[in-house]
Amino acid sequence: MGKPTGFMEIKREKGKERDPLKRLSDWNEYAAPLSDEALSRQGARCMDCATPFCHMGMDINAFTSGCPIYNLIPEWNDLVYRGQWKEALDRLMKTNNFPEFTGRVCPAPCEGSCTLAISDPAVSIKNIERAIIDKGFENGWITPRIPEKRTGKKIAIIGSGPAGLASADQLNQAGHSVTVYERADRPGGLLTYGIPNMKLDKEVVARRIRLLTQEGIDFVTNTEVGKDVTREELQEQYDAVILCTGAQKQRNLVIEGREAKGIHFAMNYLTTTTKSMLDSNFKDGQYIDAKGKDVIVIGGGDTGADCVATALRQGCRSVVQFGKHPQLPTERTSDNMWPEYPQVFNLEYAYEEAQAKFGDDPREYSIQTKKIVADENGNLKELHTIQMEKLVDESGRYTFNEIPGTEKVWPAQLVFIAIGFEGPEQPVLEQLGVETKNNKVAAAYGKYTTNVEGVFAAGDARRGQSLIVWAIHEGREVAKQVDHYLMGATVLP
């Protein structure tokens, strides 16, 4: 612990963010790291509290507390305080394959369970993490680690999101020959097509893919396993298979008027926008355009927020986001105590931008869409809504009741459905004969084995839509199991 009194003397500094109005005119990342001096001061705030709740990594009341990959946070906080950046990088890379992703877009459950957060704002862990890895790349400290020996074992990984990439990285380092299949034209999963560029620059993802390729991993894109590659081909060519296909089956809105023209799934919107940006800087016109339109996003979560930020950059006339739940409190309540993930109101980047542009937070709470109305040409015209009251019944279950007299009509020409995901897509699972349970691939946590010999599963496909940091955790853990399965023991951490 560098500065024993740091937590008493130094205040938390928020990471730098570009001006909300100015950043709407481009697609560059909205967040930037603090200066080295500021980061060193922030590192000094860490109390090295002996029981580091910040890296306990477990779910409490359905939300994550602490870092799921058990990052050695107090150690690198101290090293950054002392200016020993290279040593901090070495400690960080021991537990996290891709800190450049988590340091940018992880919701930082570590900070929610930071011991200092009992009485003061938490240590700026995520900003420090990002700065360590960015410095590693800037200074050329990150170089390809090409394995000296190969085991002769071949592994196919299906899906190139963070779970697939983490397991590929680990197994390649163990000397196995790894091929990653991806049906999209670019690897990265939701890191590439899902999370918008202003949150995570696609060059940051591409840089990591280049590095993994130099280290010996083979990426096969535009190839859907189950369609372009069969179960028999996989069995013939590989000693083990890992399913990391994500949970991208989108939940539909079953409602009167759903067939109106101008209603899209959020993921189609986000994916086509990013693809068009990467392919042609939007010159190909192959994206859904919100310019000059009244946009409504149905669904109050993060995917919806990313749609709001995208529509703002395209120059929408107005944007509103409907959420089913009431607004969160500004402070923790008695049923959400430390070290649980704080369920408190936050002005995320997209909402800050909408407020700067239109003067208002775009979120509407406790609202339910009753029907959608189209004009005589079938084009979306308006949404009819009602306000809801959230109640808790005797068994502790939540119910939602309509409040009579709160009906409202909202004009809209574009609607995005962002009400969640229903689990992994079926075709590949059916082809491989893999069983599912509760809309997830049936594979026990810690073992990752499916009902098919030699086929493993990890990430969102196994646990349901989650977080990048959990996908990295599962990618690392499944790699250990596969290494053990192939070699009778494992060398992996």
Ligand X SMILES: Cc1cc2nc3c(=O)[nH]c(=O)nc-3n(C[C@H](O)[C@H](O)[C@H](O)COP(=O)(O)OP(=O)(O)OC[C@H]3O[C@@H](n4cnc5c(N)ncnc54)[C@H](O)[C@@H]3O)c2cc1C
Which residues contact ligand X (rule: CB under 6 A)? 105-106, 158-164, 181-184, 189-190, 194-195, 199, 224-226, 244-246, 248, 270, 302-303, 306, 425, 428, 459-461, 465-469, 471
Query: Does 339 participate in binding ligand SF4 (rule CB under 6 A)?
Result: no
Cβ proximity to ligand SF4, 109 vs 424, nearer residue:
109
Q: How far is the CB of 239 from ligand X (least distance, A)?
A: 19
Cβ proximity to ligand SF4, 131 vs 155, nearer residue:
131
CA distances from 114 to 77, 160, 194, 339, 340 (A): 12, 32, 29, 7, 10
Cβ proximity to ligand SF4, 67 vs 428, nearer residue:
67
Q: How far is the CB of 128 from ligand X (least distance, A)?
A: 17
Answer for the pair 88, 79: CB distance below 8 angstroms, yes or no: yes
- Residues of this chain, 61-90, that bind ligand SF4 according to CB under 6 A: 67, 69, 71, 73
- Distance in angstroms (rounded) separating the CA atoms of residues 300 and 420: 10
Q: How far is the CB of 105 from ligand SF4 (least distance, A)?
A: 9
3-state secondary structure of 219: strand
- Distance in angstroms (rounded) separating the CA atoms of residues 289 and 33: 31
Cβ proximity to ligand SF4, 93 vs 184, nearer residue:
93
Cβ proximity to ligand X, 353 vs 460, nearer residue:
460
Rounded to 5 degrees, φ, ψ at 426 are: -80, -40
Residue 303 tokens read as 């995917």
Cβ proximity to ligand X, 129 vs 425, nearer residue:
425
- Distance in angstroms (rounded) separating the CA atoms of residues 22 and 58: 38
Q: Which of 216, 92, 81 is nearest to 148 (CA)?
A: 216
Give which of ligand SF4, ligand X, none residue 44 binds (C-beta under 5 to 8 Å, depending on kind). Answer: none
Q: Which of 29, 78, 100, 129 binds ligand SF4 (CB under 6 A)?
A: 129
Answer for the pair 465, 251: CB distance below 8 angstroms, yes or no: no
Residues 462-481 as x/- pattern, contact with ligand SF4 by CB under 6 A: -------x------------
Q: How far is the CB of 270 from ligand X (least distance, A)?
A: 5
Q: How far is the CB of 11 from ligand SF4 (least distance, A)?
A: 20
Q: How far is the CB of 176 from ligand SF4 (least distance, A)?
A: 26
Rounded to 5 degrees, φ, ψ at 297 are: -105, 125
Cβ proximity to ligand SF4, 102 vs 177, nearer residue:
102
Answer for the pair 483, 240: CB distance below 8 angstroms, yes or no: no
Q: What angle do CA 423, 474, 449 make, to 5 degrees?
A: 75
- Distance in angstroms (rounded) separating the CA atoms of residues 68 and 458: 14
Q: Which of 239, 226, 248 is nearest to 158 (CA)?
A: 226
Residues touching ligand SF4, count (CB under 6 A): 13
- Distance in angstroms (rounded) separating the CA atoms of residues 437 and 461: 11
Residues forming the site for ligand SF4 (CB under 6 A):
67, 69, 71, 73, 102, 106, 108-110, 125-126, 129, 469
